[in-house]
Amino acid sequence: MYDFLIAPFLEFGFMQRALGGSLMLSLGACPVGVFLMLRRMSLTGDAMAHAILPGAAVGFLFFGLQIVPMTIGGLIAGVIVAMGAGAVSRFTVQKEDASMAAFYLISLALGVLMVSLRGSSVDLMHVLFGTVLALNNEALGLIAAISVITLITLVIFWRAIVAECLDPLFLRSVSGLGMPVHFIFLGLVVLNLVGGFQALGTLLSVGLMMLPAAAARFWSTRVEPMCVLAVLIGFGSCIAGLLLSYHAALPSGPAIILSAGFVYLVSTVFGTRGVINMRMRRHHHRTA
């Protein structure tokens, strides 16, 4: 048991850095995922994850696989796409989901094209799927900073973010915080996707944000416990995925996301709000 569960993290520095980076990602991204889910914006997170690719690609073209330029580029691209999709939905007849889909598809194609112009297929795979086992101290520092910023922002704006999730019209009617809080929250989404991009790539970073949140929804109806449970599921998924990657020689990023996906599937069946319990409750009400 020691050799299987503990030894890989004690004996290898790359496993320690991967574990630290993925746990810090879970700490910031999973609560953000809960609010995305409650807002019914889960697919928006996926679109934003693709949207950061062109900016990261510009940083890659000029500086190679360096964290700071790719991060700054990703942040700028994410903000541009979010504002562009919002402007289209606000000033035209098109809804936000359609405009976001259009912008992210353009961004994804543009980003892949830009990376392919200079890099190899290995570089493209690195950008799209990340390399959690190759995290260095610079990447860990960036992820830690993003997690701290996210947690502090959530604590400061907690009540406003919860209100904006559950009843945005009410928040805007009683306070002027409605629109600023919405953009602050979108900023947190982009920031955490950029952090996840360092470890899991643009295609998988949203997985660690949304799957634990979706799984937690089957176990709780209150926001605070849901966020805590999502973080714990994220922690467990990262540990299980890294161990699976180490012992079975599998890609680490997909192994982490598949571990979270397994928890989600189990939760859909056995959760307190899952299939079995919901069927039992309906049967009880019919026979009562």
Report the 3 state secondary structure along the chain.
CHHHHCHHHHHCHHHHHHHHHHHHHHHHHHHHHHHHHHCCCHHHHHHHHHHCHHHHHHHHHHHCCCHHHHHHHHHHHHHHHHHHHHHHHHHCCCCHHHHHHHHHHHHHHHHHHHHHHHCCHHHHHHHHHCCHHHCCHHHHHHHHHHHHHHHHHHHHCHHHHHHHHHCHHHHHHHCCCHHHHHHHHHHHHHHHHHHHHHHHHHHHHHHHHHHHHHHHCCCCCCHHHHHHHHHHHHHHHHHHHHHHHHHHCCCHHHHHHHHHHHHHHHHHHHCCCCHHHHHHHHHHHHHC
Q: How far is CA 216 from CA 29, 69, 220, 223, in A?
A: 14, 35, 6, 10
Q: How far is CA 208 from the centre of its chain?
A: 5
Q: What are phi and psi of 4, to 5 degrees?
A: -85, -40
Q: For residues 139 and 21, is the Cβ–Cβ distance under 8 A? A: yes
Higher pLDDT, 169 or 182: 182
> Scanning the structure block, which residue is given the tokens 């019919």?
286
Q: Convert the pLDDT of each residue in 178-208 to its tens digit.
A: 678 888 888 888 888 888 877 787 667 888 9
Is pLDDT of 138 > 70? yes
Task: List the Cα angle 127/29/208 in 5-degree steps.
Answer: 60
Q: What is the pLDDT of residue 227?
A: 95
Q: Convert the pLDDT of each residue in 56-65 to its tens digit.
A: 778 877 777 6
127 vs 58: CA distance, rounded Å: 12
Q: What is the pLDDT of residue 287?
A: 67
Q: What is the pLDDT of residue 150?
A: 95
Q: What is the pLDDT of residue 119?
A: 59
Q: CA dihedral defined by 215, 40, 161, 139, rounded to 10 degrees?
A: 60
Which amino acid is present at 255? A
Higher pLDDT, 182 or 28: 28
Q: What is the pLDDT of residue 115?
A: 72
81 vs 102: CA distance, rounded Å: 10
Both structure tokens of 173: 């009617």
How much of the chain, in percent, has pLDDT values that exceed 90? Answer: 28
210 vs 242: CA distance, rounded Å: 19
The domains of the chain are located at: 2-202
Pick the range with the lowest mean pLDDT from 66-70, 126-130, 215-219. 126-130
The domain 2-202 is classified under which CATH number: 1.10.3720.10, 3.90.550.10, 1.10.10.10, 1.10.3470.10? 1.10.3470.10
Among residues 234, 149, 159, the alpha carbon closest in space to that of 187 is found at 149
**Residue 124 — pLDDT band, cuts 50, 70, 90?**
low
Is pLDDT of 288 > 60? no
Q: What is the pLDDT of residue 184?
A: 86
Q: What is the mean pLDDT of residues 241-246?
A: 92
